[in-house]
Amino acid sequence: MTEIRHESVAPTRARSLASGTGVDAHRHDDHQIVYAGRGVLVVTTCAGLWIAPATRAIWVPAGTVHAHQAYGELELHLVGLPARDNPLDLAKPTVLAVGPLLRELILAYTRTPYGDSPERGRLRTVLLDQLRASPQQPLYLPTPTSPRLKEVCEILRADPADGRTLAALGRQIGASDRTLSRLFKADLGMTFPQWRTQLRLYHALILLAGNSPVTAVAHTCGWSSASAFIDVFRRTFGHTPGTHLPID
């Protein structure tokens, strides 16, 4: 069994991670804000995956065992907060929207991670205020516990473009669509179409971080056209997928 690293204090710092690399499972006694200034970050726990492009940050509560995975050349920013400071009163990882002001606050706070000057204290206060005002985003891919649901989800993870109905997938594994539909809501807290859309967006972000063309990403992830993909992406993230492609 892999030993889980324990850090009493969650670090505040900026660092780079090469695409495909990560940070193994660990936990902190403090809360942590995890933000990718560029690239795409995935935080994994036993409950599922939280996905964050550069317009999102992930709140990781104290004591949560989690791992980081980088896609694209990742610029990782970590903000540690004492367990007594929980501005959002959240007990589980959550994806938060990051507007221009919050982004600049996170960058400034992590690029000068040490010191207790009055100026740094004021910066931290404003950062916490902005976190409280930051809307939560449902960019979360839960991991199923039901054996039958695991089979369905693994089929789709292997091929996000698989467009079969829940009934057709159920016939492959020997379960009715009614049973599977009930399991999606009970086990994952979302409907089958919602989960599949989250899966496709997750794969889309990874492909975009690898500089794949938008049209290719759309078809690889199961959208009928690039325009349909762009519409869903814009409604979810507030901007077009082309924003995530690296600039030469």
Give the tens place of pLDDT for each residue, 4-14. 788 777 788 88
Range of 1-15, 21-35, 124-138 with top mean pLDDT: 21-35
Q: Hey, which residues does 43 pair with through a beta bridge? A: 50, 68
CATH classification at residue 111: 2.60.120.810
Same-domain pairing of 121 and 181: no
Give the tens place of pLDDT for each residue, 136-156. 776 789 999 999 999 999 999
Residue 247's pLDDT band (boundaries 50, 70, 90)?
very low
Q: Is the pLDDT of residue 2 over 70?
A: no
**pLDDT value, residue 244:** 65
In whole angstroms, what separates CA 183 from the centre of its chain? Answer: 23
Same-domain pairing of 105 and 159: no
Q: Hey, which residues does 79 pair with through a beta bridge? A: 33
Angle of the 100-111 helix axis to the 118-133 helix axis, nearest 10: 140
Q: Is the pLDDT of residue 248 over 50?
A: no
Same-domain pairing of 153 and 76: no
Same-domain pairing of 175 and 90: no
Given its phi and psi angles, is residue 21 left (phi above 0), alpha (psi -120 to 50 degrees) or beta? beta
Q: What is the mean pLDDT of residues 200-213?
A: 91
Same-domain pairing of 18 and 116: yes
**Residue after which a domain boundary falls, among 94, 119, 140:** 140
Give the tens place of pLDDT for each residue, 38-95. 888 899 998 898 888 888 899 999 999 999 998 888 888 999 988 887 777 888 888 8
What is the domain count for the chain? 2
Q: What is the mean pLDDT of residues 20-29?
A: 88
CATH classification at residue 177: 1.10.10.60
Same-domain pairing of 136 and 150: no
Residue 245's pLDDT band (boundaries 50, 70, 90)?
low
Same-domain pairing of 56 and 69: yes
**Residue after which a domain boundary falls, among 122, 140, 158:** 140
Q: Domain containing 235: what range?
A: 144-244
Least confident stretch, 65-69, 131-135, 242-246 = 242-246
Same-domain pairing of 74 and 24: yes
| DSSP collapsed to 3 states, the chain | CCCCEEECCCCCEEEEECCCCEEEEEEECCEEEEEEEEEEEEEEECCEEEEECCCEEEEECCCCCEEEEEEEEEEEEEEEECCCCCCCCCCCCEEEECCHHHHHHHHHHHHCCCCCCHHHHHHHHHHHHHHHHCCEECCEEECCCCHHHHHHHHHHHHCCCCCCCHHHHHHHHCCCHHHHHHHHHHHHCCCHHHHHHHHHHHHHHHHHHCCCCHHHHHHHCCCCCHHHHHHHHHHHHCCCHHHHCCCC
Q: Is the pLDDT of residue 120 over 70?
A: yes
Report the percent of the chain where pLDDT is more than 90: 50
CA dist., res. 112 & res. 4, Å (int) = 28
Same-domain pairing of 115 and 236: no
The verdict on pTM exceeding 0.85 is no
**Residue after which a domain boundary falls, among 117, 140, 163:** 140
> Mean pLDDT for the chain?
88
